Amino acid sequence: MPAGTVALRLIRGAFHQIDVALARCLAPPPKQAQQTDPEDLARFREFFRQLPADAAARAYLDVHLPRLVRTMTLVPKPAGARRALELGAYMQMTPALHALCGYPEVRGADFGPLGRSVRKTVALAGGEFTCEIAFFDAERDRFPYPDGHFSLVLCCEMLEHLMRDPMHMMFEIRRILDPGGALLLTTPNCAGLTCIANLLDGRHNPQVYSRYNRTTPGDPPHVREYTAHEIAELMAAAGFRTEQLLTERIESRDEAAWVHELLERNHLDTSLRGEQTYCIATMRPDLPVDRYPAWLYD
């Protein structure tokens, strides 16, 4: 390759990195989470508790109910295309998006062979909710939806399980969202107080969750957990503007409050130290993108 061509590519790459850095610097800071109406919390909590569930689903709800409820309080009002998609749908938040959040059309997705789909129905107090669940590999396949088809995508407790190419998923989410559409993403925060406490103690794994699944051995464990600041970087690389970024403590992980005092005494940042991260970001066609951010890929 001629030396001039190599130099031109290096210059273009440098200018691209400058564009990305400027976009991050000029982006407004994420908004603080608003106070949640206790009536809304009660309404979502009661909805999830009344969902029909087998023993496994009930056990899952018992553990994850606070996160499910908190996630639903962050769902934006329907706008634009007024269609919503839940990636990794368990048919819990999926019907809530329709019945409680007002999205006229809701779809779900799960891991499986591309081209296959099923229709699932859930009995609700006010009738039945039916949803099409499409199967595909979020890290490899083109999502089976048109460009700009959805105004909301939920990606909850999924990012940390990805093994190969998380930015493929992010770019596909970007493609299927209409301009200004929202991505609501939740994931464990590996910079939370409990993680730091485990790391300092030295006897336990610092990830929020680090165990393998005996029930379904094919399911990947937590491959890589992220800090909340990395989630903001992930959004910026995919051309999203972060609107809200917050973390909250997990009730069962409240034994590490002493770490907060330790951080303060050593003049270290104490923000975004909960074990659970919540992020709402909007797709912005005018923002630069970075397909392989250096902090995430070799």
Residue 216 has a pLDDT of 79
292 assigned to some structural domain: no
| Residue spans of the chain under pLDDT 70 | 1-35, 253-254
Residue 217 is part of which domain span?
31-283
**Bridge partners (DSSP) listed for residue 185:** 155, 279
Count how many domains the chain has: 1
Residue 218 has a pLDDT of 78
290 assigned to some structural domain: no
175 assigned to some structural domain: yes
**What is this structure's pTM?**
0.88
Phi-psi region of 66 (alpha: psi -120 to 50; beta: other; left: phi over 0): alpha
Residue 59 has a pLDDT of 87
86 assigned to some structural domain: yes
Residue 29 has a pLDDT of 55
CATH of the domain at 178: 3.40.50.150
294 assigned to some structural domain: no
Residue 126 has a pLDDT of 82
10 assigned to some structural domain: no
79 assigned to some structural domain: yes
Residue 149 has a pLDDT of 98
